[in-house]
Structure 1
Amino acid sequence: MAAATRAIASQGLGAPTAVIAKEAGVSNGSLFVYFDTKAALLNELYVALKTEMATTSLVGLPSGGEPREQMLHVWTQWMRWAMASPEKRRALAQLLVSDDITAASHQAVNTAFGAMADLLERSRANGPMQDAPLSFVLTLTNAIAETTIDTVIREPADAETLTRVAFDAVWRIIAGI
């Protein structure tokens, strides 16, 4: 999985399985012992990376806290994961637009993001996004997060300020506060 992450991050979804196998230190044929197809590898990698991102974002979540405090924690952890894992982030960005990612893989990710989705629902309950489809709110939030991460990569000295400003914007969009 690490080899696939590196190959996809550097070469995109068109990275040949031979490159992935070589990076992993196995023969190309051996790769297909573990994955029936390249699409199966991409799906497994997608689920693994998204699950890791969700799990990392929830580590240390203050239980029983106010939704804003909890959302800020998740946001901050998400930013930290992305900054600490640039190859994973680049590979995941490629996988997010892949037609090979199946409905089953998306469903597995939705399950991993269940606690985050519940928190987002509580956060937007009385806000301007309360009637918008959850998928739209998640896509909008993700777009702001990606923009923030890209900017922080270019301007690391301002990382803390930019992360906080972006969160405040997301919170106003979601909760209206």
Structure 2
Amino acid sequence: MSDKKQQLLEASIDLFAREGFWNTSTASIAKHAGVATGTLFNYFPSKDALIDAVYMHLKHEWLQHIQRDYPVRADIKSRLEHIWYRNIDWGVRFPERYNLKQQLSLSGVLGAEAVDYEAEELAFLHELIQEGFNQGIFKEMSVDYFNSMVMAEMDATVRYATAQGLKDMALARLIALSSDVLWSGVAR
């Protein structure tokens, strides 16, 4: 990725997180990135394309974080716990990026490319969840409900830990507790 494109993405992330993506003009992004306004359109044909690129960039960072040391051969509970711990860790370390990723995900403004990217990148997670259902590990419920419940609890844990300023052992205890609460809610 070129330096200017990276500068534009980082400027967008910073301004979108502080001012909201609808309230941020492309001119202010270019200025914040230290490039001419026209330069932005050399990399992103529209603001919508920029929003999609920001989302895919954040999603890629997040995925790299949660997939680091992913225990591919471990049992389902261990793999789910790994994803749980790594997601909460990323959210607490990078709260602005986490919040923006969540906002963009729920906004309804993402284009087909961003939606397709997410589906491809999360295939391993969907396979893990389906494997759990196929093996009878999870309680009987729809996969959509399972996903919604997991994401809501994960989000609540990140928001609580961030608001409380939890670190080190206090954060580790909260993550372990929330993981236990989740598991007891979904496992048979």
Normalised to the residue count of structure 2, the TM-score between the two structures is 0.85
Query: Aligned partners of 1:51 and 1:58: how far apart in 2?
Result: 10
**What secondary structure, in the 3-state scheme, does the structure 2 residue paired with 1:124 have?**
helix
Structure 1 unmatched runs, 5+: none
Residue 136 of structure 2 corresponds to residue 128 of structure 1: no
Query: Aligned partners of 2:184 and 2:133: how far apart in 1?
Result: 10
Q: Which moved more, 1:118-127 or 1:17-26?
A: 118-127
Aligned residue in 2 for 1:159: 171
The counterpart of 2:158, out of the listed 143, 149, 154, is 149
Deviation at 1:162, TM superposition (A): 1.5
Q: C-alpha root-mean-square deviation of aligned residues, in Å?
A: 1.6
Matches within 5 A, 1:1-177: 1-14=9-22, 15-125=24-134, 126=136, 127-129=138-140, 131-132=141-142, 134-155=143-164, 156-157=166-167, 158-176=170-188
Normalised to the residue count of structure 1, the TM-score between the two structures is 0.90
Deviation at 1:164, TM superposition (A): 1.2
Task: Describe the superposition over 1:4-32 as per-residue Cα deviations: whole angstroms up to 9, x where unpaired.
Answer: 11111101122111221112111222111
Q: Which moved more, 1:3-12 or 1:164-173?
A: 164-173
Structure 1 runs (4+) greater than 6 angstroms displaced: none
Aligned-pair identity in percent equals 23
More RCO (CA 8 Å, sep 6+): 1
